[in-house]
C-alpha cells in the first residue's frame, strides 16, 4: 500500500536555495503543498549533528527531501578532495539518522550519476554500481554519494523505512551555480563566454554588474608563491582582466578545459524536480525492488497507509527469503547526450558570441562518457520534457535576468 503524503504533510527540503532544492520546492508548491520547511546554511549547518537533531526535534517533518550537498566541477573536486568526502558524509549521516529517529514517513535522497564506474558500459544501468573503479577526478564525491544511497537502502532493509535514492544526470537551470571556482561545466562555460563577449564590447557596466552579483576568486602563482585575488564590481580594471584571464576569459576568446570530446547528458533542473516529486509522491521502496510482499514482510502498515514503526516486523540485515536486494536507486535523466564541444556551440549561439573558443587538451577531460539508462524511471511513469537546445537558451535568459538584482 502506497504511503500517502497529503497536502497537509510537513515536508523538509534540505538545500532549498540550491539548484535542485529550489526547483523541488517550487514544484511541490505548484502541486498544492504549502507546509514546506527550509533552512539556509546560515540558519542550519547540516554538518552539525546537534544542530540537525535540534531542528528535527522542533519541526517534526513528515517527509524529507535531502537535496543539500557540497558540490563542484573538476577543478573544485581536485582542490578540495577531503572536503567533498567529509562534508557530504556528515550532511547525509546527520539528516538520514535524524529522519529515522523522528519517524519520518518518506525520505528522498538526491545523488549523482558520478557514482558509476569510469568505464561502465553505456548507457549505465543502476546495476553497474560498484562493478569497477571510479573516475579519479570526482572519486571522493562519488564515494560519499554511494554511501548515501546505501544508507537509504540499508535503513529500508533493516528498519522497514521508505527512503528512496535518485541519481540525476548533469543538471542545469534556474539558481545554477555560476561561480567560476566551483561551478559545473555548463554554467561555467556560459559565464566565461558571456564575459569574453562583454570585454570585447567594452561593456564595463555589465562586467561590473556581473562581478557585483558573483565575485570571482583565484589562487594564482606569483614568484613561486600562491597569491589569493578576489575581484568584484569595484575592482581595478587591470586586476579584473588578470583574474578573468586565469580562468581562460579574454577579449573575444575563451579557453575551456579538455579536448571537448567527452559526451555528457544534461537535464533541466525543473524536469529533475518534477521527476523527484513524482517519485516522492507515487513510488515506494517496494515498487522499486519489484517485490510486493516486501511491505507485508517488513512494514507494520495501518489501514490509512501510514507506517507503524512500533509494530514493524523489520529485522537486522536482508531478508533471506527475498534474496540479495541492491541497486535500489533510480537514474534520472533524458537518455540523450552531446559532446562538450557541441554544448559550447549551443552556448555560443545563446550568448551570440562571435569570438573564439579554444579547448586546452593539456587539462583533464574527466570521464569520457556518462550516459544513463532511464528505463527504470520510465517504467515508474515519468519522462523529461525540456530538450537541451531549448534549455541552454532558457538558462542564459535566466542568468541575464539574475544580474538585474
Name the residues annotated as catalytic: 141
CB 168 within 8 A of CB 113: yes
What secondary structure letter does DSSP report for 123?
A: S
**CA distance linking residue 11 with residue 57, whole number of Å:** 14
**CA distance linking residue 202 with residue 196, whole number of Å:** 10
Q: Give the pairing of strands 253-257 and 249-250.
A: antiparallel
**CA distance linking residue 153 with residue 329, whole number of Å:** 8
Q: Give the pairing of strands 216-222 and 225-231.
A: antiparallel
Angle between helices 340-351 and 388-402 (to 10 degrees): 50
Residue 48 has, within 13 A of its CA and on its CB side, a CA count of 11
Residue whose entry in the numeric block shows the C-alpha cell 570521464: 367
What proportions of the chain, in percent to the nearest 5, are helix, strand and coil? 45, 15, 40
Cis-peptide into 123, omega within 30 deg: yes
- Please spell the DSSP secondary structure of 183-247, one letter per residue: --HHHHHHHHHHHHHHHHHT-HHHHHHHHHHS-EEEEEEETTEEEEEEE-TTS-HHHHHHHHHHT
| 253 grid coordinates | 576568446
CB 23 within 8 A of CB 269: yes
Amino acid at each position: 500500500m502506497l504511503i500517502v503524503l497529503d497536502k497537509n504533510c510537513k515536508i523538509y527540503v534540505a538545500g532549498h536555495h540550491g539548484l535542485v532544492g529550489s526547483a523541488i520546492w517550487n514544484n511541490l508548491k505548484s502541486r498544492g503543498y504549502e507546509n514546506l520547511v527550509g533552512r539556509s546554511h546560515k540558519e542550519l549547518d547540516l554538518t552539525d549533528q546537534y544542530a540537525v537533531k535540534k531542528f528535527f526535534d522542533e519541526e517534526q517533518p513528515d517527509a524529507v527531501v535531502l537535496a543539500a550537498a557540497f558540490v563542484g566541477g573538476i577543478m573544485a573536486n581536485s582542490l578540495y578532495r577531503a572536503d567533498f568526502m567529509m562534508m557530504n558524509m556528515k550532511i547525509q549521516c546527520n539528516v538520514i539518522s535524524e529522519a529515522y529517529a523522528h519517524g519520518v514517513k518518506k525520505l528522498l535522497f538526491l545523488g549523482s550519476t558520478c557514482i558509476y564506474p569510469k568505464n561502465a558500459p553505456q548507457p549505465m544501468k543502476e546495476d553497474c554500481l560498484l562493478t569497477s573503479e571510479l573516475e579519479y577526478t570526482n572519486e571522493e564525491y562519488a564515494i560519499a554519494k554511494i554511501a548515501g544511497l546505501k544508507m537509504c537502502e540499508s535503513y529500508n532493509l533493516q528498519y522497514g523505512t521508505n527512503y528512496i535514492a535518485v541519481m540525476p544526470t548533469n543538471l542545469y537551470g534556474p539558481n545554477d551555480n555560476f561561480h567560476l571556482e566551483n561551478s559545473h561545466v555548463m554554467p561555467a562555460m556560459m559565464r566565461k563566454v558571456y564575459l569574453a563577449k562583454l570585454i570585447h564590447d567594452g561593456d564595463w557596466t555589465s562586467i561590473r554588474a556581473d562581478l557585483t552579483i558573483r565575485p570571482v576568486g583565484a589562487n594564482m602563482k606569483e614568484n613561486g608563491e600562491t597569491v589569493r585575488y578576489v575581484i568584484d564590481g569595484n575592482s581595478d580594471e587591470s586586476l579584473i582582466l588578470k583574474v578573468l584571464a586565469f580562468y581562460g576569459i579574454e577579449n573575444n576568446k575563451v579557453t575551456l578545459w579538455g579536448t571537448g570530446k567527452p559526451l555528457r547528458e544534461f537535464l533541466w533542473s525543473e524536469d529533475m524536480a518534477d521527476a523527484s516529486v513524482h517519485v516522492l509522491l507515487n513510488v515506494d521502496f517496494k515498487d522499486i525492488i519489484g517485490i510486493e510482499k516486501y511491505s507485508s514482510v517488513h512494514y507494520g502498515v495501518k489501514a490509512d497507509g501510514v507506517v507503524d514503526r512500533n509494530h514493524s516486523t523489520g529485522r537486522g540485515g536482508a531478508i533471506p527469503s527475498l534474496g540479495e536486494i541492491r541497486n535500489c536507486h533510480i537514474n534520472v535523466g533524458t537518455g540523450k547526450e552531446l559532446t562538450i564541444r557541441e554544448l559550447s556551440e549551443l552556448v555560443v549561439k545563446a550568448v551570440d558570441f562571435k569570438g573564439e573558443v579554444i579547448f586546452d587538451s593539456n587539462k583533464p577531460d574527466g570521464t569520457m562518457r556518462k550516459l544513463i539508462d532511464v528505463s527504470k524511471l520510465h517504467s515508474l511513469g515519468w519522462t523529461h520534457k525540456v530538450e537541451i537546445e531549448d534549455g541552454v537558451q532558457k538558462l542564459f535568459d535566466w542568468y541575464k535576468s539574475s544580474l538585474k538584482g
